[in-house]
Structure 1
Amino acid sequence: MIGLILLVIAFVIAAGYITKINIGFYAIAATYVIACFVMDLSPGDLMKMWPVKIFFVILSVSLFYNVALANGALEKLAGHLLYQCRNFPNILPLVIFAAATIIAGLGAGFYTVLAFMAPLTLLLCQKTKMNLVVGSMAVNYGALAGANFMTSQSGIIFRGLLENAGIPKETAFNYASSIFVVTFLVPIAVLGTYSLWSHRSSAVHIHAEKPEPFDLKQKQSIYLIILLMTIVLLFPILHLLLPQNEWIASINQKMDIGFLAIVFTLISMVMKLADEKKVIALVPWNTLVMICGMGMLIGIGVKAGVIEAFSGWVSGNVAFWLIPVVLCCISAVMSVFSSTLGVVAPTLFPIIPAIAVHSGLEPALLFTAVVVGAQATAISPFSSGGSLILGSAPEGINKNTLFNSLLFRAIPIGMAAALIAVVLAQSVM
């Protein structure tokens, strides 16, 4: 049974890649056949495996942040950030990274930031003669790092997956924070090294038009985003500082970003900050189907004992000090052809607690190793991030050359940085 489920997971990922059909559909169909006709579960039992909490949180948070997308607030914020640093071309990669990180951290999410910043970044590469690989890595790294922030899309998904893996809510927040910190620092090291190396070359002035100022609705959207982030982050931080305070502990337990996002969405709608139909249309339905479909498939894998078998194999056959590196490499290979959020994290996160128990390693290190490895190769042209960048290439940029650069230059650089980061993190955690 375990071998069958592993084969099905591999088939689902391959079928989605080959046919370009959302792997969530394959996962749901495969889950139904295996659960009901092989494992003899009832449709009712299968329905309970739908990850309701993750679905609700992603939906509610997306609705709120889509208000700022629909009225152009986040896109204009990106333009202002880039314009402010137009006279410092040597640090342009870090500027692009910072802009993408801030926008994604405010809730736009990985795909959205890439969708509107990748074309701008590649155009800047043309104008300034900046290396295309470095520009692509800067915007990709920034979108990933910002989305990993604890209140942004990927960070919320990680927290939900951690809680589904049996990690307590407060501990899940701490682990998600570790993931964000490491995935934020790695790009700074990589891009900072490039900026220092390129400082020897002659500076090229960036010609950028000053963006229009924010209108009232856009300002109000930004204020509401900041207020929501403050509320969501304040009580977990206070609880860490004052763990004995019962009132703070009680409020912290009742703080739920999903329900808070719905409340703030309602406030935004009452204030008429954006068109309601457009806000709903911007919900990442493809991501929802993919994550929840794979969640069901992984769920029957857990029920069949896949998690215990795999964690036992890793613990018994890999030296404990090599386990973080092995997990990093496995997730990196998976991410070349699949999504970190939809495939890699839902597949590997459930096995981490068991591996941590068998090996004695810190769970935060293992979870971080998985994400760092996966995001090192997320720029692959076969994956969603790389394909978005490739599709954003304007006239004048050879897509075949860019394809080869992403595959044979960006991925090795990212992988080397990820392995170094995991080794350094292991010495700290």
Structure 2
Amino acid sequence: MVLLIVFCIALAIILGYITKCNVGIFAIVFAYIIGTFLMDMDPKKILGFWPISIFFVILAVSLFYNFAIVNGTLEKLANHLMYRFVNYPYLLPFVVFISSAIIAALGAGFYTVLAFMAPLTFLLCDKAGLSKIAGAMAINYGALGGANFMTSQSGIIFRTLMENSGVQANAAFLNSGVIFITTIIIPIFVLSFFVLSAFKNKIQLSSIVKPQVFDKKQKITLFLMLLMMFIVLIGPILHVVFPKNILIDYFNKKIDIAMIAIIFVAIALFLKLADEKKVIALIPWNTLIMICGVGMLIGVAIEAKTIDLLSSAVRHDVYIIFIPIILCIVAAFMSFFSSTLGVVTPALFPIVPSIALSSGLNETLLFVCIVVGAQASAISPFSSGGSLILGACPQNYKEKLFKDLLIKAIPLGFIAAILAAIILSFILKGN
């Protein structure tokens, strides 16, 4: 049964890749067939494996941040950030990275940032004579790292998955914070090679038009985004600083990012900051179905003790010192063809607590290594992120960029991820 479930998880990923259909749909089918007919479970119990908390969090947060997308706040913010560095063209990889990270951290999410930053970045690469691979890696790293922020889409998903795996809320917050910091630091070293190359080649940026100022609705939207971020972050941060304060502990327990986001959605609707229909239309249904569908199959896997057996195999068949690196490599391989948010983390996060408990390894280290490994190959042209970047590239550069993503971007990102896993193994030693 364990082998069958593992096979079905892999098969769902393969079928999704081959057919270009949502992996979550295949995962739901396998969850129903295996759970109902092979494990004699009640279909209602299988429906109960649909992760309501993750679904509602993504739905609520996406609804709010979609106002900033529809009314142009995020795009204009990106243009302003780009314009600030027009006199330093050799820093373009860093500028694209920082701009993408800030926009993603403000809640746009990985795919949204790629969608409107990629065309702009490739245009700037043309104007400056910068290689497309440098621009592609800068966007990808920035969108990934920024989205990992504790109040942005990926960060929220990571925290929820950790809590569903038995990790305490405060520990999950700290773990996601370390993930965010790590995925912001690694790209700085990788992108430095492109910055040095651009500096040596003395590239120049021309004909960049100064962006328009924010209008009233955009200013209000930006203020609401920052205010929501403050409200959601202040509780956990104060609780870390003052862990024994009763009032802070009470406040921290009552703050729920999904509910706060819905309140801000109501405020945005009341102020008519954007067209409601357009805001709803931008909800990432594909991501929701993928994450929740895989979540149902993982629920069946947990019921069949698959997760326990897999974690036991890792504990006993792999030397403890190699476990973080193995998880990093496995995550990178999975992410080459599939989604970090929809497949890799829902599949691997549940085994972390038991591995950490039995091996004595720091669970933060294991969570970070999974994400770092997964995001090392997230730029693969066969994954959703890489295909979005490739789709935004001008037609005459597509073939070259496709090859560069495979033979340059992925190996460079993979090497950086393995080195990071080794370094983190020394920094985050034990529980």
Shorter-chain TM range is over 0.9
Q: Supply the AA of the counterpart residue of 2:27.
A: A
Q: Which runs of 4+ in 1 moved over 6 A?
A: none
Q: Which residue of structure 2 lines up, in the alignment, with residue 400 of structure 1?
A: 399
Deviations 1:120-152 (A, max 9, x none): 111111121112111100000000001000000
**Residue 274 in 1 paired to residue 274 in 2?**
yes
In the aligned structure 2, how far is the partner of 1:404 from the partner of 1:293?
32
**Residue 251 in 1 paired to residue 277 in 2?**
no
In the aligned structure 2, how far is the partner of 1:385 from the partner of 1:313?
31
Deviations 1:34-90 (A, max 9, x none): 111111111111111110000000000000000111101001100110011111111
Asked whether the 8 Å contact 2:119–2:393 carries over to 1, the reply is yes
In the aligned structure 1, how far is the partner of 2:256 from the partner of 2:277?
25
Asked whether the 8 Å contact 1:89–1:206 carries over to 2, the reply is no
In the aligned structure 2, how far is the partner of 1:344 from the partner of 1:244?
36
Alignment of 1:200-215 (within 5 A): 200-215=200-215
Asked whether the 8 Å contact 1:235–1:248 carries over to 2, the reply is yes
In the aligned structure 2, how far is the partner of 1:341 from the partner of 1:194?
28
Q: Which residue of structure 1 lines up, in the alignment, with residue 307 of structure 2?
A: 307
In the aligned structure 2, how far is the partner of 1:208 from the partner of 1:307?
53
**Residue 238 in 1 paired to residue 244 in 2?**
no
Q: Which residue of structure 2 lines up, in the alignment, with residue 64 of structure 1?
A: 64
Q: Which residue of structure 2 lines up, in the alignment, with residue 142 of structure 1?
A: 142
In the aligned structure 1, how far is the partner of 2:300 from the partner of 2:58?
22
Asked whether the 8 Å contact 2:32–2:46 carries over to 1, the reply is yes
In the aligned structure 2, how far is the partner of 1:243 from the partner of 1:253?
12
In the aligned structure 1, how far is the partner of 2:193 from the partner of 2:380?
22
Asked whether the 8 Å contact 1:62–1:283 carries over to 2, the reply is yes
SS at 1:200 equivalent: helix
In the aligned structure 1, how far is the partner of 2:201 from the partner of 2:391?
30
In the aligned structure 2, how far is the partner of 1:319 from the partner of 1:100?
38
Q: Which residue of structure 1 lines up, in the alignment, with residue 156 of structure 2?
A: 156
SS at 1:199 equivalent: helix
Asked whether the 8 Å contact 1:99–1:142 carries over to 2, the reply is yes
In the aligned structure 2, how far is the partner of 1:402 from the partner of 1:205?
21
SS at 1:208 equivalent: coil
**Residue 224 in 1 paired to residue 232 in 2?**
no
Shift of 1:394: 1.8
Q: Supply the AA of the counterpart residue of 1:265.
A: V
Asked whether the 8 Å contact 1:356–1:362 carries over to 2, the reply is yes
**Residue 414 in 1 paired to residue 413 in 2?**
yes
* TM-score w.r.t. length of structure 2: 0.98
In the aligned structure 1, how far is the partner of 2:205 from the partner of 2:12?
48
In the aligned structure 2, how far is the partner of 1:119 from the partner of 1:199?
23
Shift of 1:207: 2.6
In the aligned structure 1, how far is the partner of 2:13 from the partner of 2:203?
45
Shift of 1:272: 0.5
Shift of 1:194: 2.8
In the aligned structure 1, how far is the partner of 2:391 from the partner of 2:207?
24
Asked whether the 8 Å contact 2:130–2:203 carries over to 1, the reply is no
In the aligned structure 2, how far is the partner of 1:83 from the partner of 1:197?
21
Q: Which moved more, 1:409-418 or 1:205-214?
A: 205-214
Q: Which residue of structure 2 lines up, in the alignment, with residue 296 of structure 1?
A: 296
Q: Supply the AA of the counterpart residue of 1:385.
A: G
In the aligned structure 1, how far is the partner of 2:136 from the partner of 2:203?
20
Q: Which residue of structure 2 lines up, in the alignment, with residue 191 of structure 1?
A: 191
Deviations 1:10-51 (A, max 9, x none): 111000100011111111111111111111111111111110
Q: Supply the AA of the counterpart residue of 1:231.
A: I
Shift of 1:396: 3.7
Shift of 1:395: 4.2
In the aligned structure 1, how far is the partner of 2:290 from the partner of 2:204?
43
Q: Which residue of structure 2 lines up, in the alignment, with residue 425 of structure 1?
A: 424
Shift of 1:192: 2.3
SS at 2:67 equivalent: helix
Alignment of 1:86-125 (within 5 A): 86-125=86-125
Q: Which moved more, 1:35-44 or 1:201-210?
A: 201-210
CA RMSD of aligned residues (A): 0.9
Determine what percentage of the aligned residue pairs are the same residue. 54
Asked whether the 8 Å contact 1:86–1:207 carries over to 2, the reply is no
In the aligned structure 1, how far is the partner of 2:220 from the partner of 2:142?
25
Shift of 1:199: 2.1
Alignment of 1:23-34 (within 5 A): 23-34=23-34
SS at 2:134 equivalent: helix
In the aligned structure 2, how far is the partner of 1:283 from the partner of 1:378?
22
Shift of 1:198: 3.5
Q: Supply the AA of the counterpart residue of 2:308.
A: E
Shift of 1:197: 4.3
Asked whether the 8 Å contact 2:104–2:143 carries over to 1, the reply is yes
Q: Which moved more, 1:406-415 or 1:310-319?
A: 310-319
Q: Which residue of structure 1 lines up, in the alignment, with residue 128 of structure 2?
A: 128
* TM-score w.r.t. length of structure 1: 0.98
Q: Supply the AA of the counterpart residue of 1:159.
A: R
SS at 2:200 equivalent: coil
Shift of 1:296: 0.3
**Residue 262 in 1 paired to residue 259 in 2?**
no
Q: Supply the AA of the counterpart residue of 2:412.
A: I
Q: Which residue of structure 2 lines up, in the alignment, with residue 357 of structure 1?
A: 357
Asked whether the 8 Å contact 2:381–2:387 carries over to 1, the reply is yes
In the aligned structure 1, how far is the partner of 2:42 from the partner of 2:8?
20
SS at 2:201 equivalent: coil
| Unaligned 5+ runs, structure 1 | none
Asked whether the 8 Å contact 2:124–2:205 carries over to 1, the reply is no
In the aligned structure 2, how far is the partner of 1:327 from the partner of 1:134?
27
In the aligned structure 1, how far is the partner of 2:203 from the partner of 2:169?
48
SS at 2:335 equivalent: helix
